[in-house]
Amino acid sequence: MVSLRPRALLARVPNRGLFCAGAVITLLVIALVIVGMVWMPYEPTAMSADRLQGVSVAHPLGTDKMGRDILSRVMYGSRITLLVALGTMAIGAGLGILVGAVTGYYGGIVDEVVMRVTDGLFAFPSVLLALVFVSLFGSSTLNVMWALGIAFVPSFARVSRSEVIRCKHLDYVKNARLMGVRDVRVIFVHILPNMRGVLLSNLMIGFNNAVLSEAGLSFLGIGSQPPFASLGQMISEAQEVFFIVPSAVLGPGLVIVLMVLGFSLMGEGLRSEEGRMA
């Protein structure tokens, strides 16, 4: 029986240094978002006469060209970015696992068609897909979430499909079916729990891609609308004043980098050591 105490679990992580570094970074970002939900130094949309101020005690990251406090805006913006990324993952993983499991289980022509479609989607960059989606349905945060979510369906569908195909001829699954267990239960209770490990790494990679895609889209002005800016949009607005208030670009930029880096370092720490050339 594997112990579930944190210390015992950590001992099984191949590269503890990287994993812990990633975990600390992720916790910092989450803390920033959670603190921002309870308390922010200023209202993120409140303008003031103190425009384009540098770093000070009153404004730790300075103010933007409308006199808004950048730290407060970063706190608010990272909340939007995090929410969109989580929503994207929920949609992408939920739909993807469902589609992959059902088509893999039943096979046949539907499977063939769905797999060709997901292959096609796979080659198409998520930002472009989101742009098509937004041009059809309008540019709101919710639409961006759906668009990116659909763009992430193929990667999850592939994983769950291959898992279902691998398991459906195994003895224990055949047994369950002989005992009259319904298909739905076979798929979700007997087969899919096997894919936890792969799913975890897919979720981490997917989350990172979602954060980066959302940042790119909001840099282009798509998604959350002003004055409620998400991180990418803050950078886009601050680019012209970069030389006056560097923190207006560096602040939101660093939060994006840390948000992605935390998860990717954790994922890297979980991978076991590879071989050597000689």
Partner 1 sequence: MRYVLKKTATMLATLLVVSLLLFVAFQLISGDPATRILGTGATPESLAVLRSELGLDRPLVTRYLSWLLSFAQGDPGVSYVYNQPVATLLATKIPVTLVLAALSFAFMCAMGIPTGIICAKYAGSPVDRIVMVANQVIMATPPFFSGILLSWVLGMGLHLFTPGGYVSYETSVPRFLGYLVVPCLAIALPRAAQLAKLLRGSILEEAGKNYVRTAYSRGNNTSGVLFGHVLKNAFLPALTFLGMSLGTMLAGSLVVERVFGIPGVSSILLASIGNRDYPVILAIVVLIAAVIVVVNLLVDILYKVLDPRIGEE
Q: Which residues lie near partner 1 (CB under 8 A)? A: 18, 116, 120, 122-128, 131-132, 134-137, 139, 208, 212, 215-216, 219-222, 232, 235-236, 239, 242-243, 249, 253, 256-258, 260-261, 264-265, 268, 274-278
Considering the complex, state which of residue 190 and residue 232 has its C-beta at the smaller distance from partner 1: 232
Q: How far is the CB of 211 from partner 1 (least distance, A)?
A: 9
Tell me the closest approach of the beta carbon of residue 191 to partner 1, in angstroms: 27
What values do phi and psi take at 69, rounded to 5?
-70, 125
| Shortest distance, position 133 Cβ to partner 1, whole Å | 10
Supply the minimum distance, in Å, between the C-beta of residue 132 and partner 1.
Answer: 6
| Cβ-based nearer residue to partner 1, 42 or 219 | 219
Query: Smallest distance from the beta carbon of 45 to partner 1, in angstroms?
Result: 23
Q: Do 86 and 141 form a contact (C-beta atoms < 8 A)? A: no
| Minimum distance, C-beta of residue 119 to partner 1, in the bound complex (Å) | 9
Helix 196-219 / helix 70-106 crossing angle, nearest 10 deg: 130
Which residue number, 44 or 267, has a Cβ lying nearer to partner 1?
Answer: 267
Task: Pick between residue 181 and residue 254 the one whose CB is nearest to partner 1.
Answer: 254
Q: Burial letters for 73-94: b for 16+ Cβ neighbours within 10 Å, e otherwise?
A: bbbbbbbbbbbbbebbbebbbe
Among 31, 148, 136, CA closest to 90: 148
Nearest-angstrom CA–CA distance, 134 and 109:
31
Q: Which residues pair with 4 in a beta bridge?
A: none
Cis peptide leading into 193, omega within 30 of 0?
A: no
The token pair at 72 is 């407060």
Identity of the residue, 43 or 112, whose beta carbon is nearer to partner 1 in the bound complex: 112
CB-nearer residue toward partner 1: 151 or 191: 151
Eight-state DSSP code of residue 120: H
